[in-house]
Structure 1
Amino acid sequence: MTLSVVVAGGGSAGHIEPALAFADAVRRAHPDAVVTALGTERGLDTTLIPARGYPLRLIPPVPLPRKPSKDLLRLPGRVRTAIGAVRDVLRDVDADVVVGFGGYVSLPAYLGARGRVPVVVHEANARAGLANKVGARFAAAVATAVPGTGLPHEQVVGMPLRRSITGLDRAGLRAEARAHFGLPADGPVLLVFGGSQGARTLNSAVAAALPGLAEAGVAVLHAHGKTGTAGPETAGYVPLPYIERMDLAYAAADAVLGRCGMTTVAEVTAVGLPAMYVPLPHGNGEQALNARPVVANGGGILVPDAETTGERVLAELLPLLGDPARLAAMGAAARASGHADADERLARLALDVALGATAGKGVR
Structure 2
Amino acid sequence: MSTPSVVLAGGGTAGHVSPMLAIARALDRIHPEVRQSIIGTAAGLETRLVPEAGYRLETIEKVPMPRRPSRDLLRFPSRFGQAVRDAAAILRAEQADVVLGVGGYVCTPVYVAARRLGIPVVIHEANARPGLANKLGHRFAAFTGVAFEGTPLKGSEWVGMPMAREISQLDRSKQRAQAREALNLDPEKVTLVITGGSSGALSLNESIKAALTDLLGTGAQVLHLTGRDKALIGEHGALLEHPGYHQREYLDGMELAYAAADLIIARAGAATVSEIAAVGLPAIFVPLPVGNGEQELNARELVAAGGALLVKDEHFNKAWIRRNILPLLEDPQLLATMQAQSASRGITDADDRMARAALAAAGHPIEKAEKKK
TM-score by length of 2: 0.91
Q: How far off its partner does 1:65 sit?
A: 2.8
Q: What residue number does 1:63 align with?
A: 64
Q: Which residue identity lines up with residue 228 of structure 1 in the other structure? A: K
Q: What residue number does 1:167 align with?
A: 169
Range moving further from structure 2, 206-215 or 170-179: 170-179
Equivalent pairs counted in the alignment come to 357
Q: How far off its partner does 1:131 sit?
A: 0.8
Give CA-to-partner distance per residue, 1:176-196, whole Å, 9 cap, x none.
222222222221111111222
Q: What residue number does 1:104 align with?
A: 105
1-side partners of 2:74 and 2:190: how far apart? 56
Query: Is the Cα–Cα contact under 8 Å of residues 135 and 153 in structure 2 kept in the other structure?
Result: yes
Q: What residue number does 2:312 align with?
A: 304
Q: How far off its partner does 1:44 sit?
A: 0.9
Q: Which residue identity lines up with residue 50 of structure 1 in the other structure? A: P
1:333 is aligned to 2:341: yes
Q: Which residue identity lines up with residue 335 of structure 1 in the other structure? A: A
Matched ranges for 1:1-364 at <5 A = 1-116=2-117, 117-230=119-232, 232-355=240-363
Range moving further from structure 2, 278-287 or 295-304: 278-287
Q: How far off its partner does 1:214 sit?
A: 1.6
2-side partners of 1:76 and 1:233: how far apart? 57
Query: Is the Cα–Cα contact under 8 Å of residues 198 and 224 in structure 1 kept in the other structure?
Result: no
Give CA-to-partner distance per residue, 1:221-255, whole Å, 9 cap, x none.
11211243426322221222222121111111111
Q: Which residue identity lines up with residue 169 of structure 1 in the other structure? A: D
Q: Which residue identity lines up with residue 27 of structure 1 in the other structure? A: D
RMSD, aligned α-carbons: 1.6
Q: How far off its partner does 1:5 sit?
A: 0.7
2-side partners of 1:293 and 1:350: how far apart? 27
Q: How far off its partner does 1:356 sit?
A: 6.5
> Residue 198 of structure 2 aligns to a residue in which SS?
coil
Give CA-to-partner distance per residue, 1:108-147, whole Å, 9 cap, x none.
1111111321111111111111111111111111211113
1-side partners of 2:77 and 2:159: how far apart? 34
Query: Is the Cα–Cα contact under 8 Å of residues 126 and 286 in structure 1 kept in the other structure?
Result: yes
Q: How far off its partner does 1:310 sit?
A: 2.0
> Residue 61 of structure 1 aligns to a residue in which SS?
coil
Query: Is the Cα–Cα contact under 8 Å of residues 198 and 223 in structure 1 kept in the other structure?
Result: no
Q: Which residue identity lines up with residue 218 of structure 2 in the other structure? A: A
Runs of 4+ in 1 over 3 A off after TM superposition: none
1-side partners of 2:35 and 2:246: how far apart? 43
Query: Is the Cα–Cα contact under 8 Å of residues 38 and 56 in structure 1 kept in the other structure?
Result: yes
Q: Which residue identity lines up with residue 29 of structure 1 in the other structure? A: I
Q: How far off its partner does 1:336 sit?
A: 1.0
Q: How far off its partner does 1:71 sit?
A: 1.9
Q: Which residue identity lines up with residue 321 of structure 2 in the other structure? A: V
2-side partners of 1:164 and 1:52: how far apart? 15
Q: How far off its partner does 1:220 sit?
A: 1.3
Give CA-to-partner distance per residue, 1:250-302, whole Å, 9 cap, x none.
11111110111110000111111000111222322221111111111111111
Range moving further from structure 2, 89-98 or 141-150: 141-150
2-side partners of 1:69 and 1:193: how far apart? 40
> Residue 256 of structure 1 aligns to a residue in which SS?
strand
> Residue 276 of structure 1 aligns to a residue in which SS?
strand
Q: How far off its partner does 1:211 sit?
A: 0.7
2-side partners of 1:25 and 1:275: how far apart? 28
TM-score by length of 1: 0.94
1-side partners of 2:68 and 2:170: how far apart? 44
Query: Is the Cα–Cα contact under 8 Å of residues 257 and 277 in structure 1 kept in the other structure?
Result: yes
2-side partners of 1:330 and 1:22: how far apart? 29
Give CA-to-partner distance per residue, 1:79-120, whole Å, 9 cap, x none.
112111111111111111111111111111111111321111
Query: Is the Cα–Cα contact under 8 Å of residues 137 and 152 in structure 1 kept in the other structure?
Result: no
2-side partners of 1:329 and 1:296: how far apart? 14
